[in-house]
Structure 1
Amino acid sequence: MLLYALLGVAIGVLLPNQSAVNNRLRASVSTPWVMAVISFLVGTICLAVLTWATVGTVSFDATLFVTQPWWLWIGGLVGVVGMTTTVLLLPILGALYSTALNLTAQVITTMVIDHFGLFGVDVYRATSWRLTGALVVVGAALLAVLAGRARPQRQVAPSPGWYVIGIAVGVCFGIQVAVNGQLTGVLGSAIHAGFISFVVGTVALLVLVVITRSSLRITVPAAETHNPWWMWLGGLLGALYVTGVAFLSPLIGAAATVIVIQVGIIAGSLVVDHFGVLSAPRKPVQPLQVIGLVIMVAGVLIMYAPELFG
């Protein structure tokens, strides 16, 4: 189990790097939706090649649409809904509150899914060890986030409805973890499941780009002389992330997957911020952030205490 936890941390480290890459791509395109489409297209192409190489085909038995539940195919869609809603929500709630709501809702959602075996997942009861470990991880993650960001100052407080939407974003991402894990079991391949998820997400984003009539023009920001080659790699990192989550979720449960990945996300974020990786703004790591990361690791150990020390 500890090896799976370490794998989850490694998967989580990918996400902050993807964010840094996509932020640079965003500077060269007209809207966030165009950036997302490009990122998803790159990820879809990469996963198509990997699926063909490992499975021998990118298709699947069409009878699965009849024999399997309808929700099996919505992982990519709910992921896109969560992502696009986050983009709209950030200017209203700010990164601090958006992150807090998203993380808390993800953990609660996946805990409920695991405890009751929703979406056909294996049952992982919310024991006192798991609940305590999850609470410690969430609290420590919020400590790390709070230590690195100033409390937002607003002239007008957002309506309560926006906070509900922020929670709904976390619910979407929690459902995506469970659904893609089940799709992995049905297709027999996490790479194949990731490919299907990306195809669905790409189609949804293309529809959104058409509706918003976003320009597809690629430009070079005024302060730079050229676009770096690595700004196109966000989709590859996203593909690795989604595939890793789809692989890990059936093995340790949706909740444990989300929690160990959050440790990796915080660790990766601290590295990206401190060293200014991939042209990200440099923000020195604060002592409280390191303390928060250490406490997160302790929380994961608490979750696995019965297996490690029992």
Structure 2
Amino acid sequence: MDAPALAVTGSTGWLGGLVARDLAADGIRQRLLVRNPDRAPALDGADVRRCAYGDDDEAVRALEGVRTLFMVSAAEHPDRLGQHLGFVRAAARAGVGHVVYVSFYGAAPDATFTLARDHAATEEALRASGMAWTFLRDNLYLEFFGQLRGEDGAIRGPAGDGRVAAVSHPDIAAAAGAVLRDPAAHAGETYSLTGPEALTLAEVADVVAEVQGLETTYVDETVEEAYASRAVYGAPDWQVDAWVSTYTAIAAGELAGVTDDVERLTGRLPLSLREVLSRG
């Protein structure tokens, strides 16, 4: 039997796992690229290969024979961009024809959210690679908002009255699955994946309070207060910059635009924050 023409990264994580299981349920054969093969999901028709971002030669071997690659962004790391660029080069060396890359909403070299700049650089590398590409630019995750409430009942951050069109995990996975079932139809396309509404964090707090039955308020920190309140975690500077800049990107209006891309790709409306929180 020929090797699968589709490779999926990140199948031990939430997004790659959702996508891989959905494709397997439809009988689509795939190669699962994982750092630890023992943790790969047991799926019918899956060919498991060891492959880690940062090891370009290993990636070339793992990608041989692959025509379409679903590239989930690497775990946050001080050299994540370097890992991405090496993986793109490896994919091109291996003869991959099309990369479907999970990027970030509004990715740009001057994006307020620091990690969105890395996504922009990865997109540029893919455009220059000679391979076909499709970009799935996810907004922030709706599930994230269900975890923001502190012990004092407050959601804190310097987002002001900016709005964010966050999207759910299932909707991102369904959109990715639609592209991977017919990648040629989506070559050269960029999809900005959002939920059905753009909310302020004060409105997010109201929905959290309503659905979870817990008093929840939004506290609009200054940038200085945001850095001080997160210093207790002892995270490196680049990580704290990323945390704080998610809020300042909201304040700047860079995450506010609602699109119909999820509906166009999946044929159904995306889930709202209230629906996501109600699911638990």
Under a length normalisation based on structure 2, what TM-score does the superposition of the two structures give? 0.29
More strand by share: 2
Greater per-residue helix proportion: 1
TM-score by length of 1: 0.27
